[in-house]
Amino acid sequence: MAKIKMETKNLNLWYGEKQALFDINLPIYEKKITALIGPSGCGKSTFLRCLNRLNDLIPNVKIEGEVLLDGKNIYDKDVDVYELRKRVGMVFQKPNPFAMSIYDNVAFGPRIHGIKDKKELDKIVEWALKKAALWDEVKDELHKNALSLSGGQQQRLCIARAIAVKPEVLLMDEPTSALDPISTLKIEELMVELAKDYTIVVVTHNMQQASRVSDYTAFFLMGKLIEFGETEQIFLNPQKKETDDYISGRFG
């Protein structure tokens, strides 16, 4: 079995008085794709945001328990959140490129982290765009505004932007829900390719997507982790009735 890259231990989260996550214990295996599934409002995105402390930005959030990255709790006082988010990157549901050139979007993170040399930046931009399967489509117009790209291209650009700082873990929150079927397939192929180098956690509403791309699946219901296992087992032989009901479309 693969090494555990991240792990949550008795993770609880409250928005004000309302508890949204209950005692979540979940391993995330290195260089594997873990899919988080479950009906709307069950806490998938909340859980995902705990993995790089994006919930810190929301007022009145209380978190208890641990989130370990290579065995170290990312909520410890000595953790530099900035450095953490470099190691654990995020791609959002709606493509959100910055209103600047394609090149500057990808170079943004590396520049913030102190890389100024033009040749080095050129190399990173080309590398990240190639990894994100976008290079061939944009290599002659790197200085065009990123907002002029199609939705699917914008999402691949956001993936290039996320990987340009060489994260170890990539969090993806419904990365294809705003895309057409062809762009969706491209992103799914890309995820499988990226999982050779990165650990990926993806929230998805799309059962076919979870079964097509992921190695492990976690099923959430009302803030609780109901079942976790290898994707094939979860889909073919779920151990819990709730999981069976959900994946066979009886609710959710």
Name the residues that contact ligand ATP, by CB under 6 A.
15, 20, 38, 40-46, 58
216-221 and 33-37 beta bridge pairing: parallel
Three-state DSSP class for 138?
A: helix
**DSSP states of 86-135:** HHEEEE-SS----SSBHHHHHHHHHHHTT---HHHHHHHHHHHHHHTT-H
169 near 152, Cβ under 8 Å?
no
Complex with ligand ATP: residue 36 or 160, whichever CB lies closer: 36
Q: Retrieve residue 120's tokens.
A: 């080095």
**Nearest-approach distance from CB 209 to ligand ATP, in angstroms:** 13
**Nearest-approach distance from CB 92 to ligand ATP, in angstroms:** 12
Complex with ligand ATP: residue 27 or 43, whichever CB lies closer: 43
Dist CA 67 CA 51 (whole Å): 7
Dist CA 167 CA 225 (whole Å): 26
Complex with ligand ATP: residue 174 or 188, whichever CB lies closer: 174
Dist CA 50 CA 67 (whole Å): 8
**Nearest-approach distance from CB 73 to ligand ATP, in angstroms:** 21
**Nearest-approach distance from CB 242 to ligand ATP, in angstroms:** 14
Identify the burial level of 19 via C-beta atoms within 10 angstroms of its C-beta, where 0-12 means exposed, 13-18 middle and 19 or more buried: middle
Complex with ligand ATP: residue 35 or 142, whichever CB lies closer: 35
2 near 31, Cβ under 8 Å?
yes
Q: Count CA within 13 A, CB hemisphere, residue 198.
A: 26
50 near 43, Cβ under 8 Å?
no
Complex with ligand ATP: residue 103 or 220, whichever CB lies closer: 220
CA 23 to chain centre: 21
**Nearest-approach distance from CB 205 to ligand ATP, in angstroms:** 6
**Nearest-approach distance from CB 47 to ligand ATP, in angstroms:** 7
**Nearest-approach distance from CB 154 to ligand ATP, in angstroms:** 20
